[in-house]
Each structure stands twice: as structure tokens, then as C-alpha cells.
Amino acid sequence: MLSLSMIASANASPHLEITLSNQRFTLYDGKEIIREGRVSAARPGYKTPRGIFSVQAKVPNAYSHKYHAPMPDSLFIYHSVAVHIGVVPKAAIGTSHGCIHVTSENGRYLFSVMRVGDQVIVK
């Protein structure tokens, strides 16, 4: 049986792992960690989907009409769920409606290196 880490290791492209329990991300190039940081996923009452996804679209200036909020440097991974620049408090708490927020610096970096089709694991 393949584990999430075995699937990610087989991927030679950059891939992103997001761990909801501690609100952290790790970006890999093959097996090498190239960046780590904090995230903020869904706040109480909302859910961030878990699973193995791929970047479906990259949108530099996305906007949520539902929540009236900008979503800069969005990497869409599942329906309207994206990894994007947003509020990331120092405490490991969720602040979004389901998206995965990263800091401005990390968001710009992830947007520059991730490509459509690259793997994103949310666990």
C-alpha cells in the first residue's frame, strides 16, 4: 500500500504538503525540503478538504465574490479551494472559509515555483 509520503517522493516536480493539525506547509523538490512555513486553513464551522490534489489553475489576482475577499497568488486545488496569500496568525488556528492561507512572502514564492499539475497533499 502506498503512503502519502511515498506518492509524493515518486513525484520529481515540486510538491506541497500541508498538515492541518499543526497549520504548517512543507514544499519539496523530489525528497528535498526547499521551504517550510505556517498556514491558516478553515476556521471552526468550515472545512479544508484533505486528500491528494494537483494545482488545477494559477490565478494571480483571484477574488472571492462569495466572501468579498481578494485571493492573491491563488493555486486552485479543489473547486474553489486555493492556497493563497491571506491572514496567517502566529497561533496555529484557522482563519479561512476553507482555503489555505500563506504569508505574502511564502505565497509569492509558491506561486512562482508551483505549476499546474504539481501535487498538493493536504493531511
Q: What is the pLDDT of residues 37-49, one digit of tens each?
A: 999 999 999 999 9
Q: What is the pLDDT of residues 56-66, one digit of tens each?
A: 999 999 999 99
Cell of 96: 479561512
Q: Of 28, 25, 24, which Cα lies nearest the Cα of 14?
A: 28
Bridge partners, 90 (sequence order): none
pLDDT over threshold 60, residue 16: yes
The number of domains in the chain is 1
* Rounded Cα–Cα distance for residues 15 and 29 (Å): 7
Question: What's 50's DSSP letter?
Answer: P
91 compared with 52, residue with greater pLDDT: 52
User: Listing from the earlier edge strand, what are the strands of the sheet with 24-29?
Assistant: 32-38, 24-29, 14-19, 119-122, 51-54
Q: What is the pTM of this model?
A: 0.87
- CATH number reported for the structural domain that contains residue 86 in this entry: 2.40.440.10
Give the residue numbers spanning the domain of 36. Answer: 4-122
